[in-house]
Structure 1
């Protein structure tokens, strides 16, 4: 199979890291084509990548010049807008059977299913491929990718997963070789994010309780570093260092987090249950939004818990 021409659409925190690793390690033919609604962001990123990338001035150019098109955007509405722009574009051929679209966004399972159906009607392949990992993991090519869809489409994208953007692929087909519902990938991603978000909330409460009780955050952080080193120990450091309220650009924005919780709550209700921890976490994130606006980061639930305990939102 010949190497595909590849485009990357959407350059948020995760998208920048993933596109960097595809440009440097991917088996594509020619430079990675970058497109972002704000062209200056694509130009800045391309400058860092040098000759391994090029900028597409329009979405039409990105799609027309590529065989494999990755997208990674903030929410369902943004993905819907991109899909509509592609399918309504008279400059693109009616027959898109030479194209495969791989969406790494976190969206509702029904959005992934709708997207696949729309592309399939024009002959294009589609893979729902949300990812797990913080921006630093994306930069290091250490994400967990979760692809779902028709096997023919997944196989076209697979060379860009392990060893390129990911440390591990969770193939929801379980090795059966069968075509699978693209909504399963989005479902796993949304439910997995509730674990992350709920745990960050519990961590914030524990740190504030340690401070309020007189124990102090030091012993709790030391225990956490021994018992659960990695992402949550990093969150504890971001909270106690004050990074949660001083940073200008969120690593995981409050609005996106609340969108994930809404999706998870909806999925649970369809199954006849209520995710009560999700409701608690969302209430903390609502307080973050009131305090910090759209630039609020999920680590700022620490400030929301502090405020609820009669302390200052900022700890320094």
Structure 2
């Protein structure tokens, strides 16, 4: 944007695949700027940790003009195992990304509360985690984040707390705009705010689970 921005360097007909997690209205404004320039923006936020990206197994959300989305499909297939289209609105895929990150946060908060209660009541938290993820919650999300929480060891870093705090702030802002009460989103954002305030940087964002354990005296 602006006279020295990258937009001025794009040729006519170019497509900008925006993979960042941003506010839906940010991508809408970018799409308008691209349209004035003669280029096109397609929102392409991704789901997956760094190791998933390295393996080319990300999940991709996509929204923007149909023709541009179709032109991007071979590129998206190179780094993703599946692409899901959310229509022509450049902000739509960003909404999907924010909702997805919110759901991940609810998993972390829920596992943190459950494992903390179990430990306070005398159960072995790791053994309880293993039971949960071998039965009712036998899926990759509960297993991967649950392992970090059960062991209280938040490495390797998928995303640091400060980055996801930004995302949760965007969730709360979008919820306010749409008139949707989201009390869990506010709880998760507050937990991340406390984690950032404690200067926890080189840990996965799931480390906000420690706020639950500390609140229970563990």
Same fold (TM over 0.5): yes
C-alpha distance in structure 1 between counterparts of 2:34 and 2:66, whole Å: 16
Q: CA deviation at 1:225?
A: 2.2
Describe the SS at the equivalent of 1:278.
helix
2:145 is equivalent to residue 235 of structure 1: yes
Residue 64 (structure 1) aligns with: none
Flag the 1:265–1:220 CA change in 2: closer, same or farther, 3 A: same
- List aligned pairs for 1:20-59, cutoff 5 A: none
- List aligned pairs for 1:147-162, cutoff 5 A: 147-162=62-77
2:38 is equivalent to residue 109 of structure 1: no
Q: CA deviation at 1:285?
A: 1.2
Residue among 146, 149, 174 paired with 1:267:
174
C-alpha distance in structure 1 between counterparts of 2:68 and 2:176, whole Å: 31
Q: Decide whether the 8 Å contact of 2:161 with 2:208 is kept in 1.
A: no
Describe the SS at the equivalent of 1:170.
strand
2:175 is equivalent to residue 289 of structure 1: no
Q: CA deviation at 1:151?
A: 1.4
Describe the SS at the equivalent of 1:161.
helix
Query: What is the number of equivalent residue pairs in this alignment?
Result: 216
Q: CA deviation at 1:277?
A: 0.5
The superposition leaves residues 27-85 of structure 1 with CA deviations (integer Å, 9 ceiling, x where unpaired) of xxxxxxxxxxxxxxxxxxxxxxxxxxxxxxxxxxxxxxxxxxxxxxxxxxxxx79x962
Residue among 106, 124, 128 paired with 1:198:
106
Residue 302 (structure 1) aligns with: 209
Residue 168 (structure 1) aligns with: 82
The superposition leaves residues 241-277 of structure 1 with CA deviations (integer Å, 9 ceiling, x where unpaired) of 3432xx4x73212122111111111221122222100
Larger RCO, structures 1/2 (Cα 8 Å, 6+ apart)? 2
If you compute each CA radius of gyration, which structure gives the higher value, 1 or 2? 1
The superposition leaves residues 170-204 of structure 1 with CA deviations (integer Å, 9 ceiling, x where unpaired) of 1123xxxxxx1111110111111101112111111
C-alpha distance in structure 2 between counterparts of 1:161 and 1:223, whole Å: 37
Residue 144 (structure 1) aligns with: 59
Describe the SS at the equivalent of 1:208.
helix
Flag the 1:282–1:234 CA change in 2: closer, same or farther, 3 A: same
**Moved segments of 4+, more than 4 Å:** none
Describe the SS at the equivalent of 1:141.
coil
Q: CA deviation at 1:131?
A: 0.9
C-alpha distance in structure 1 between counterparts of 2:179 and 2:141, whole Å: 32
Residue 42 (structure 2) aligns with: 127
Q: Which has the higher helix share?
A: 2
